[in-house]
Copies of this chain bind each other. A is one copy, B any other.
Amino acid sequence: VRLLDQTKLPAQTVYIDISTAQQMHDAIRRLVVRGAPAIGVAGAFGAYLAIRGLPDDESILPLLDEACRFLTTSRPTAVNLSWALQRVRRAAAAAPVGAIKPAVLDECTRLLDEDVRACHAIGQHGLELLKAIKRTNSPALQLLTHCNAGSLATVRYGTALAPIYLGSEQGLQFHVFVDETRPLLQGSRITAYELSQAGIPCTVLCDNMAASVMASRKLDAVIVGADRIAANGDVANKIGTLGVAILAKHFGVPFFVAAPLSTIDMSIPSGAQIPIEQRDTREVVHGFGALTAPADVQCLNPAFDVTPAELVSAIITDRGVVRPSLVTNLPKFMP
């Protein structure tokens, strides 16, 4: 499996070849590959790598299970990872002993294709919604996004950025304000890179400038991705999303979450039960090669926060738009 090393963007375009589950675990943990849908698919291929050299006998299933359990531990918050690994285990269990390896590889390919289709569908539903709610006079739809929920967070198209890519192909104009997204700058490093590559006008801002942007300019909407959505519609997404949602409410800007159904975890009643990954605080105070705080100071680094459903105007899924009474509507959308 060949991965674009996203930790090196935008300065360098480096690909990394992954040939073991251990390497895939490491790549997911280090954010070489990131974004809930992308790590789901990458994790599945990681499980395949764990078994592809094994003999076709009974030993294969327990070893696959072990690899899946191990890969699940690489990042705790995005549900897509455990969901995709569950799919792989189920495909393996359903196959005859001699055909487990091709069955797992098929399932990986299916996950890959499904993600492309899901993101395309999210793009279509999202685009319709954005066209319907456009309220600014500018020729371009004025959007703000946080973190990266684009092509590089998925297999293709992205989730939050999918409507923008699709609309742009149809000749619609967009202007995207991109939160830089501290501490790892997925917004300025990755989203701005993606949008620039696609020729879509964008403006990078520090996360703390979003309020000033909303106060001084009219935005049509905020649109972000998600790492896990609870059954009540609470949304775990990149740290800072909750703040943006509160600002959007304050300024009367619609706040949309775009995510495939695989991101919805009906087993979890509310956001309070979503595990929030706490990452190394050196990412905050030593992220740029120099210490930016006193050496011994305490520091926080939660990778995600939870936005309560009541701050979410709509969830854009691959099956359509869920709103506004999320709790009662969500189950209808689930497969």
| CA of A71 to CA of B192, assembled, Å | 37
For chain A, the bracket of interface size reads: 35 or more
Say yes or no for A293: interface residue by CB 8 A criterion: yes
Q: How far is the CA of A146 from the CA of B208 in the complex (A)?
A: 10
> Chain B residues near A210 (CB, 8 Å)?
243
Mask of A257-286 contacts with B, CB within 8 angstroms, 1/0 = 000000000000000000000000000110
Which listed residue, B204, B212, B290, touches A239 by the CB 8 Å rule? B212
Number of copies: 2
Q: Is A300 an interface residue (CB 8 A)?
A: yes
Q: Is A294 an interface position by the 8 A CB rule?
A: yes
State whether A284 touches B240 (Cβ < 8 A): no
Contact B242 A215 (CB under 8 A): yes
Residues of B within 8 A of A300 (CB): 203-206, 209, 213
Given contacts A203-B299, A298-B204, contact A293 B192 (CB under 8 A): yes
Q: In the complex, which of the residues B10, B192, B290, B299 contacts A289, with contact meaning CB atoms closer than 8 Å?
A: B290
Write out the residue numbers on chain B whose beta carbons fall within 8 Å of the beta carbon of A202: 297-298
Contact of A243 with B211 in the complex, beta carbons under 8 Å = yes
Residues of B within 8 A of A291 (CB): 10-11
Q: For the complex, is A288 an interface residue (Cβ under 8 Å from B)? A: yes
Chain B minimum-CB-distance residue to A243: B211
Binary interface encoding of chain A residues 159-187 relative to chain B, with 1 for a CB under 8 A from any of its CBs, else 0: 00000000000000000000111110100
Q: Which residue of B lies closest to A201 (CB)?
A: B298
- Give the chain B neighbours of A192 by CB distance below 8 A: 293-294, 297
> Which residues, 233 to 263 on A, are CB-close (under 8 Å) to B?
239-240, 242-243, 246-247, 249-250
List chain B residues, Cβ under 8 A from A11: 290-291
Q: Is A188 an interface residue (CB 8 A)?
A: yes
Asked if B288 contacts A189 (CB within 8 A), the reply is no
Closest CB of chain B to A60's CB: distance in Å? 42
- Taking CB atoms, residues of chain B closer than 8 Å to A292 are 180, 185, 188-189, 288
Which residues does chain B contribute within 8 Å of A205, judged by CB atoms?
Answer: 284, 299-300
In contact, B212 and A242 (Cβ under 8 angstroms): yes
Scan A304-330; emit 1 where CB is below 8 A from any B CB, else 0.
Answer: 011000000000000000000000000
Question: Residue on B with the closest CB to A276?
Answer: B212
Report A7-50 residues with CB < 8 Å from chain B CB.
Answer: 10-11
B189 touches A206 (CB 8 A): no
A282 CB → nearest B CB, Å: 12
Contacts beyond the supplied A205-B300, A211-B242: 12 A-B pairs with Cβ under 8 Å: A10-B291, A10-B293, A189-B292, A203-B299, A204-B293, A204-B298, A209-B302, A211-B246, A211-B305, A212-B302, A212-B305, A246-B247
Q: Which 9 A-B pairs have the closest CB atoms?
A: A208-B240, A288-B288, A211-B243, A188-B293, A182-B206, A207-B208, A212-B305, A211-B242, A203-B298
**A-B contact list, 6 entries, CB within 8 Å:** A203-B299, A205-B284, A205-B299, A206-B239, A212-B239, A243-B247
